[in-house]
Structure 1
């Protein structure tokens, strides 16, 4: 798998969380999971409260702004695998890696993985 390009990294940084969030909700709900479970995953990764998540949506924060405010979970580095054609552990740009961590967690939630596995409890 190829690593990301500077153009790809810039696109990720400038993308608005508020534009992607509804897609996350649709993806997990279509597979029988809940918005509350989605928020549990986002809270785990970012350290945000539900009010902080809502604030980022309301302010139309970019992923760069979102992750600049995040207090990343110490076990986030355990998130590995392929998402959107990229092997997460090979991504060198921290912001792109963090965004793909979130994508991977949402994907695992939608695929029906148990919450304790998604949240890297082991």
Structure 2
């Protein structure tokens, strides 16, 4: 699927706080924990639990959330299809970063080992 400018704008304006409960529900439904979810978010963004909570409390948009992130240098190793989009082909950096997070949450919910999710050899 082709990512449109409208799609990119919609992603940028979504709030992390609005999506976060869905991430928690998805992973917990599959037997994973909120702590594991935070480990994945921390790996991708560099945010600790306190910073994650601050973004939730502030209702940060994904744009603001990722502006403050220190993206993991191995994030580009996250590939594949999520929500019908091939991650490595997304040309908008913010949309790609949000899809990185979606993919990591998906892998966690699928029961992947943490070492594989965090792209450790």
The residue that corresponds to 2:91 in the other structure is: 92
The 1-side partners of 2:65 and 2:95 are apart by 12
Unaligned runs of 5+ in 2: none
Q: Taking structure 2 as the reference length, what is the TM-score of the superposition?
A: 0.99
| TM-score scaled by length of structure 1 | 0.98
Number of residue pairs matched by the alignment = 121
What is the alpha-carbon root mean square deviation over aligned residues? Answer: 0.4
Please state whether the residue corresponding to 2:32 is helix, strand or coil.
coil
Instruction: Name segments (4+ residues, structure 1) moved above 6 Å.
Output: none
> Displacement, 1:36?
0.1
Quote the residue 2:6 is aligned against.
Answer: 7
Q: Which residue of 2 aligns with 1:118?
A: 117
The equivalent of 2:31 in structure 1 is 32
Gaps (5+ residues) in structure 1?
Answer: none
Q: What whole-Å deviation, never above 9, does each CA across 1:31-75 have from its counterpart, x for those lacking one? A: 000000000000000000100000000000000000000000010
